[in-house]
Structure 1
Amino acid sequence: MLVTIAPLRLWTIGHGTRSSQEFLDALRGQGIPQLIDVRAHPGSRANPQFGKAALESALGAGGVAYDHWPALGGRRRGLGDASPNVAWQHPSFRAFADYMMTDEFWKAVDELLLLARERPTVIMCSETLWWRCHRRLIADAASARGAAVLHIVKPGIIAPHVLSPPARVVGDRVVYTTPG
């Protein structure tokens, strides 16, 4: 008897200025029943439909479970001049890469991937463009752990993740140091 194991998949999405309906349609289009909010602060003054309470309610009504995971939130304080992640020029990406060197980060990634094995899961932040968001670095980490990561650009448009150019996989972790 041949047993087929489905590949481990993780989706990402940025809420941007979408309507609640467009956002739900994008998730439904991929059959995603679980959303993990990776915003450092799960609120939005500009787009109140994406505040934590409103989002959790709308998702629940649409059959999607919501959870906020601060351990994967962005807006980290980096190591400044002591950062080994010099391959990132952008200070917020470098600071998040510094955070990626912690056991707390990798524990959260492993928990995320366990959840993604159980049910289709998407991580969400506010930035629409995944390559301008810390979801890009989380996607690098998930890829290093063997997940196929798919970025939901809009309903029906998916971009498969490839490692960010400065990323190097060392063992089952990602570093953004210069080789040498």
Structure 2
Amino acid sequence: MQLHVLPPKYAWLRREPGPRMLVEALKLYGVLEAKGTADNPQIMEWAKEVAKAPGLGWIGSWYDKDSIPWCGLFVGVVAARAGKPIRSKLLSARDWLNWGSPVIGAPVLGDVLVFARGSGGHVGLYVAEDRDAYHVLGGNQGDAVSIDRVSKDRFLGARNHYATAQPDNCRRIQMGADGPLSMNEA
């Protein structure tokens, strides 16, 4: 599988040995939602993949268009590929607040971040932060798997799931505040 090129300021992420969810998410960087009425077969396969988990069979038939918000699906497929359990409501971004364990203190590299988005939400993985925003690796950000700055004002909580111990490289990453803030991940 050819890896999509990360922006230069995030190229260091390719050298990170973990956490496993981050490593799996980076493999999907650059996947795009199809234009118009077409559907990206790769995103559609993610729905079939997570539908194999116990209690999630409904996702394979319900998720039939990549125009359906897919940030939760992205985090779900990344979690599954990393050997983590996934929840029955994984398509609901805010339901990720019930997954794994709550992060006590500040989020760190690879944590699952949940944000408010109107009455709904958005979910992705922490890769860095600046004074005003988290830098989030997520799906359905500008109709792609990308890294966007999401305002800390929208932050609802962070979660993680480690069977043994958190990897040593999980840490806070401070970066510059260059680039626009994401206003609507859909």
Determine which structure has the larger helix proportion and give its number.
Answer: 1
What TM-score, normalized by structure 1, do the two folds share? 0.30
Q: Which of 1 and 2 has greater Rg?
A: 1
What TM-score, normalized by structure 2, do the two folds share? 0.29
Report which structure shows greater RCO (CA 8 Å, sep ≥6). 1
